Amino acid sequence: MKNLKEKILIQVKDDLAQIETALSNNLDPYLDLVSKVARHILFGGGKRLRPLLMVLSARICGYQGNDDISFSTIFEYLHAATLLHDDLVDEASLRRGRPVAHSIWGNPTAVLVGDFLLARSLTLAAKTNRPNIIGIIAGITENMSQGEIEQLWLKGNLDITEAEYLEVILRKTAVLFQGACRSGAILADAPENEENALSEYGRHLGLAFQMADDLLDYIADTKSLGKAVGADLKEGKLTLPVIYSLKGAIAADREKIRRIIQNSDFSVNEFEMLVKMLYQYGGIDYTRREAVRHVEKAKEAISIFTPSPQRDLLMDIADYSLIRKN
């Protein structure tokens, strides 16, 4: 497992370094406080997966220009903006093992710097001079805010269906992956079938990525996760492992699960009991199988491209989304 991560990292090392530089340069001319808060969220150990997906998507379509790295930062700024607002909405306290921005600088600053990062991503989008790409960025933002709102209003609702869950994760996570991949294809002036293939790749990868994320909340350990396990549950956020298990649980167990969910102060013992039930009723296994299925769909989508190192890399990234630890 570790080998796959290293195999990927060796190949994208130079791109990642350039992305880091571009992310930093694009923030330079701003107010001290804005830069400081933006840097806290931007340079806190993110994987740069979204910009990387745009760069690789452009390259697999034959792009040879110099704008890919700079434009790819759009997707990291957008991601960082939503992290700032989501941490606040979720009343989170840790992200990647560090205190969240709103706990350091207060809610108002976190709201406003989030707005600033959103605006930054749009300014960069406008610079692409491609109305298609700009429309995609705007659409991603609309979807993400709506996905977060849906998630917020579904909190604590034990009757949430798998379809509702899928709509939420499509909007809050997958459209950004999808948009990054599609924008890469557009930048490369790729034919429609390639643009659609990369769009499908991104969408399925995003769904798999979020399902893996939701699994980690039950099966990871706090240290490697960088935040407390069971955080979703504490917030009343019901994800696929729970949704699936609730469907099959006998009345007495359903009642037990309900009690744990409705008490945000649940004990470690109670949490462990819940995880056991998620295994027993198949929620863990089902979620993992669904994530694998979406990874396979993602890989299938890009199989239309002739084999190349870029294609292999995108395939490896899809596989990696299932085995990552944070």
Q: Name the site residues for its own copies (rule: CB under 8 A).
A: 30-31, 33-34, 82, 85, 88-89, 107-109, 111-116, 118-120, 122-123, 125-127, 129, 131, 134-135, 137-139, 141-142, 144-146, 148-150, 152-153
Q: Which is nearer to its own copies, 235 or 300 (CB)?
A: 235
Please answer whether residues 283 and 275 qualify as being in contact, where contact means their C-beta atoms are separated by less than 8 angstroms: no
Q: Which is nearer to its own copies, 4 or 122 (CB)?
A: 122
| Residue 110 Cβ vs its own copies, minimum distance, rounded to whole Å | 9
| Residue 35 Cβ vs its own copies, minimum distance, rounded to whole Å | 11
| Residue 226 Cβ vs its own copies, minimum distance, rounded to whole Å | 22
| Residue 235 Cβ vs its own copies, minimum distance, rounded to whole Å | 11
Q: Which is nearer to its own copies, 11 or 146 (CB)?
A: 146
Q: Which is nearer to its own copies, 101 or 274 (CB)?
A: 101
User: What b/e readout covers 210-243, taking b as 16+ CB neighbours within 10 angstroms?
Assistant: bbbbbbbbbebeeeebbbebbbbbbbbbbbbbbb
User: What b/e readout covers 160-196, taking b as 16+ CB neighbours within 10 angstroms?
Assistant: beeeebbbbbbbbbbbbbbbbbbbbbbbbebeeebbe
The residue type of 214 is D
Q: Which is nearer to its own copies, 59 or 85 (CB)?
A: 85
Residues 211 and 294: their CA atoms lie apart, in Å, by 10
Write the CB contacts of 307 (distance below 8 Å, at least 6 apart in sequence): none
| Residue 56 Cβ vs its own copies, minimum distance, rounded to whole Å | 25
